[in-house]
Amino acid sequence: MASHPLTLLQATAMTATPCSDAPAAAAQPSCAAEPFALGAHLVTPRRGYSHHGIYVGRGRVVHYAGWSRAQFTRRPVEEVSLDQFADGRGVRALLGSGARFSPPEVVARARSRLGEDRYRLASNNCEHFCHWCLTGEPRSAQIDRLVGWLWHSAAGWRHVLRAGTALRAEAHAGRR
């Protein structure tokens, strides 16, 4: 599903008719009020990064709450309302996730980790959690991009340092 302004999401979530998590429920007209497909990988922007969660139906999202800057604490995997997950920002479904599991299985996988408190920014964050729920493999494109940027930056600095060392060696040789 495309990006939604939060006001549309709030209105949709508030008027949604509760639906069963069973696959047959998706074909029922009453389930059309759900703002996202069951098991959808949701993304909402934060300052400097994107936050990820799994839509589990009835206006609820399971996500790794992660690091709380306000409380200076680590928070576990939790189930919250769509509004709480959005935190005043827009929410969109990430398309093309390559899910290996059916939507009910994705939801079950997400809920199986409720209460887990092993958040690690580089290896077990909210994006790793969502990819694991969908594919069985913990991955984070944000961390992959950061590591790639750091690697290229380090390579650039190594080049600069080697060039500086070579220039110093030539200057030292010229003083003899």
71 or 105, which is more confident: 105
45 or 22, which is more confident: 45
pLDDT digits 0-9 by tens, 36-77: 999 999 999 998 889 999 999 999 999 999 765 555 668 899
Q: Are residues 115 and 146 in the same domain?
A: no
Q: How many Å apart are CA 100 and CA 132, to the nearest integer?
A: 10
Q: Are residues 155 and 130 in the same domain?
A: no
Closest by Cα among 109, 113, 56 to 82: 56
Domain that holds residue 173: 140-176
Cα 65 to chain center, whole Å? 10
The yes-or-no verdict on residue 17 having pLDDT over 90 is no
What are the helix (H) ranges across 19-69? none
> pTM of the predicted model, to two decimals?
0.66
The yes-or-no verdict on residue 136 having pLDDT over 60 is yes
Q: How many Å apart are CA 164 and CA 158, to the nearest integer?
A: 10
Q: Are residues 130 and 89 in the same domain?
A: yes
The yes-or-no verdict on residue 162 having pLDDT over 90 is no
Q: How many Å apart are CA 59 and CA 61, to the nearest integer?
A: 7
Q: How many Å apart are CA 42 and CA 89, to the nearest integer?
A: 12
**Binning pLDDT at 50, 70 and 90, where does residue 98 land?**
confident
**Binning pLDDT at 50, 70 and 90, where does residue 88 land?**
very high
Q: Are residues 15 and 43 in the same domain?
A: yes
Q: Are residues 102 and 173 in the same domain?
A: no
